[in-house]
Structure 1
Amino acid sequence: MRPKEVLKKWIGCFNASDVAGIAALYADDAVNHQVANDPVVGKEAIRQMFADEFAKTKMVCIVENIFEDGEWAIMEWKDPLGLRGCGFFHFKDDLIVYQRGYWDKLSFLKQHNLPIE
């Protein structure tokens, strides 16, 4: 499967708040580094991160662009509240092995009425 196709599955799981589905797309030793936070290492830790985040608020990823380059897929996104960001996904054997995301954490927390850390 092409990285772009796996990323589209990831987006579907994310928008459905499907913790099990999204976790299944990561390799056992994957790293998810949302640069506003510390890196999360390992499929189980990533699953727990999504479970915690989905429990706090409804998040929606509206795709603006998806690019593919070899083992990488890159996405520009926005959400219904106007937040914008981008994500870089590295794939091996149809699984995410590394993810890096850039977005404004302060704006996200304010928009969702979450406590500012």
Structure 2
Amino acid sequence: MTIVESSGLPADVYSAKCPTRQVIGHIASKWTVLVIDSLLQDGVLRYTDLARRIEGVSQKMLTQTLRGLEADGFLTRTVHPTIPPRVEYELTPLGRSLAEPIAALRVWAEDHINDIERARAAHG
């Protein structure tokens, strides 16, 4: 059993008080999944590379997602002292530990999209 250091209580995602609930919400975000998967596939990426790769993400959402991932320790942000500054993002070991579950989710979604679209069409 994992104990949450900040509270001394057992980790329990079903408890509203447990910080694991926030982590699940953050990791389950579509933008988080896409950012982490992009970095898993490509390694170090600049903000503009991520924005181009992840179609449909707004500047605001990408910035919020990157800040949250950095705050949670999933990625590092490196600012290079150039003009203009060059900012790069790279997964930490903690972020890379999500490789298997996120890759599995991506593969599952791609493998089952036709079944889901048929179900949606049948539902009306």
Same fold (TM over 0.5): no
Greater length-normalized contact order (CA 8 Å, ≥ 6 residues apart): 1
Q: Please state which structure has a larger fraction of its residues in strand.
A: 1
TM-score, normalization by structure 1: 0.26
Structure with max Cα Rg: 2
TM-score, normalization by structure 2: 0.26
Q: Please state which structure has a larger fraction of its residues in helix.
A: 2
